[in-house]
Structure 1
Amino acid sequence: MKLNYLLLDVFTREPLKGNPLAVVLKADGLLDGEMQAIAREFNLSETVFIQKPHAERNTASLRIFTPTVELPFAGHPTVGSAVVLGLQNKLSAVRLEEQIGLITALFEKSDKRSGEARFALPRLPSQVVPLNDKLIMAQALGIEVEDIGCGSYKPGVYSAGVEFHLVPVRDANVLRRIERNMAIWPVAFPHGRHSVYVFTETPNEPDNDLAARMFAPGLGMGEDPGTGSAAAALIGLLSEHVPLGTGQADFVLRQGTEMGRPCRITIQLRKDNDVLVHGGIGGHAVIVGEGVLDLGD
């Protein structure tokens, strides 16, 4: 069996930056265990398998795997797959079937190997539970208790399909000096797969509004350069504090800077009578390589 694949860098316009992604093409017929083994072989934060759609009017069906688990939804595989399918099929919109539901992504071509994709969240984010023990969170992150909190933002677990512990911190300097204490990590962050999205506002950075870092030991990765599903969860917390009764707010978030893999994620939210009615994620992606998986007979 031979399978073609592409390598992309997502949430960036530049090769060798952003979040790497493997896209396996025409992956119909692969068993779940085979897809998981291939994702483990690539050993990237996520590998996406493009298959034929279940409904004829849709563009493709996606299966998304980290090195250890399958995900019902993830942002950078959605953006990367939309760019690949948009380029290959000359489409301005792609309809993607994911386990969480149907996602329509708008695509704009930049050149023959790159473009931008934006999509509305298939599930609006909501709070799962608040987080109140700042001391143990601070100890797990290697920072001080007074470093936790940013403006009126408070820690909490939110989900737009994948659960994340959202932890606001005082400023970008605090974000930079995080040192994880894995011995107490599961106790400090007990929900879901212990994934943590630490974020802050960046009023002194002209190119973005927010900065974040994401740590996900339960997903088979350490730190992730750019996490659309975490940014999607963050929309839930942002919407509670944006001074909008009815209207739209747009943000630019940077992630991965501390890893040397800078990502730029666009975030959009819309409220109607102070109720969140729309959330959106977007970013650029560039194809940086291609190859063939040779899995034998």
Structure 2
Amino acid sequence: MTTAPGAARRFAYSTVDVFTDRRFGGNPLAVFTDAEGLSDAEMQALAAEMNYSETTFVLPPADGANDARVRIFNPTAEMPFAGHPNVGTAYVLAGLREGCGDVLRFEETAGLVTVRLRRDAGNPVGAEIDAPQSLQRLGELPVPPLAACVGLDERDFVTDTHAPVRATVGVDFIIAQVAADAIGRAAPDIAAFRAALALVEGDSERLSLFLYAREGNTIRARMFAPLAGTWEDPATGSANATLAALLLDCDGGDEARFESVQGVEMGRPSTLSLSARRVDGWIYASVGGDCVPMFRGEAVL
């Protein structure tokens, strides 16, 4: 962005609700559509000021074959990858870029992210993304400290399919299954989250706990990351994609599809379409949903 010396710098942004077909549902996202000229510290400060689960900053790609470099910040730190920021950013850019194709490629810290736009009568209505990495299991965790994190009894946790596990397809989460009658009772205890940080090797700042209840291919989910500034997340695309990959790994087979509902307890119901597939022994996942535009504005720095 070019400005005269000493002049105010203006950066346009749009906000959008992601993984919903109605306003004030889903997960809100702020997208700074031309972030060239912003420093790392300014991006972090803007993300903290917006105070959404994540805020994205669109930059020119390093490789001209790709559509953008996208940086993702939560209120306290930069993220290597996340789900709803990619879906929402693609939706916003499709509305701004005339002749935008149906497939966008974003350069991110975790790798190249492919996004496929969903259209209705030619107009973008949402998107589906491919997670940038195959499933990696990073170790199992004990139930008692996780139960303390969310105020549940140890007996509320279901371990028949898998123990609580740290896993990733681009950004890691602790994933644990709980009983259907327990998921609505979960409430984060920040002191217990701080005490449980020792469970997460090599990460001294973030513990993201993703709980789910399952009935067949229907998922009810909640995600808590209070140490990263997200007391609860209305929709967590990257965690849901990781779950889809994990369940395919546990259940067996070559592919699987799921529908996940999240954010109900927050009054922001979100619906996410999940898929996972096995390719040459590796498991990959995708997540998609609809978007609704909300606000446009600019930051003056």
TM-score exceeds 0.5: yes
Rounded to whole Å, the distance in 2 between the matches of 1:81 and 1:145 is 39
Alignment check: 8 A CA contact 2:241 2:275 kept: no
Alignment check: 8 A CA contact 1:87 1:112 kept: no
Question: How is 1:111-260 mapped onto 2 (pairs within 5 angstroms)?
Answer: 115-131=125-141, 133-149=142-158, 151-171=160-180, 173-188=181-196, 190-191=199-200, 192=203, 193-202=206-215, 209-244=218-253, 247-260=254-267
- Is 30-39 or 145-154 further displaced after alignment? 145-154
Matched, 1:91 2:104: no
String of CA shifts for 1:23-45, please: whole Å, max 9, x gaps: 01111111000111111111111
Give the number of equivalent residue pairs.
Answer: 286
Out of 61, 66, 69, the position equivalent to 2:74 is: 66
Alignment check: 8 A CA contact 2:12 2:298 kept: yes
Rounded to whole Å, the distance in 2 between the matches of 1:251 and 1:41 is 34
String of CA shifts for 1:126-182, please: whole Å, max 9, x gaps: 110111x322322222111111016423211112222211111011x2000112222
Deviation of 1:51 after TM superposition, in Å, equals 1.1
TM normalised by structure 2 equals: 0.89
String of CA shifts for 1:176-228, please: whole Å, max 9, x gaps: 0112222222333531311100111035xxxx700110001222221111111
Equivalence for 1:30: 38
Alignment check: 8 A CA contact 1:114 1:287 kept: no
Rounded to whole Å, the distance in 2 between the matches of 1:57 and 1:181 is 46
Rounded to whole Å, the distance in 2 between the matches of 1:272 and 1:50 is 31
Overall identity of the aligned pairs, in %: 36
Look up the equivalent residue of 2:291 and give its one-letter code.
A
Look up the equivalent residue of 1:251 and give its one-letter code.
F
Matched, 1:287 2:297: no
Equivalence for 1:43: 51
SS of residue paired to 1:44? coil
String of CA shifts for 1:46-83, please: whole Å, max 9, x gaps: 10011111111111110110111001101011000111
Look up the equivalent residue of 1:20 and give its one-letter code.
P
Alignment check: 8 A CA contact 1:85 1:94 kept: no
TM normalised by structure 1 equals: 0.90
Rounded to whole Å, the distance in 2 between the matches of 1:59 and 1:16 is 29
Look up the equivalent residue of 1:125 and give its one-letter code.
L
Equivalence for 1:268: 275
Alignment check: 8 A CA contact 2:257 2:275 kept: yes
Out of 90, 114, 117, the position equivalent to 1:104 is: 114
**Structure 1 consecutive aligned stretches of length 4 or more whose deviation exceeds 6 Å:** none
SS of residue paired to 1:78? helix
Rounded to whole Å, the distance in 1 between the matches of 2:295 and 2:109 is 27
Rounded to whole Å, the distance in 2 between the matches of 1:149 and 1:64 is 33
Structure 1: gaps spanning 5 or more residues: none
Look up the equivalent residue of 1:250 and give its one-letter code.
R
Rounded to whole Å, the distance in 1 between the matches of 2:165 and 2:87 is 26
Alignment check: 8 A CA contact 2:107 2:113 kept: yes
Alignment check: 8 A CA contact 1:13 1:114 kept: no
Rounded to whole Å, the distance in 2 between the matches of 1:248 and 1:86 is 29
Rounded to whole Å, the distance in 2 between the matches of 1:111 and 1:26 is 28
Structure 2: gaps spanning 5 or more residues: 1-8
Alignment check: 8 A CA contact 1:50 1:63 kept: yes
Rounded to whole Å, the distance in 1 between the matches of 2:57 and 2:293 is 16
Alignment check: 8 A CA contact 1:213 1:255 kept: yes
| RMSD of aligned residue pairs (Cα, Å) | 1.8
Rounded to whole Å, the distance in 2 between the matches of 1:182 and 1:73 is 24
Rounded to whole Å, the distance in 2 between the matches of 1:53 and 1:272 is 28
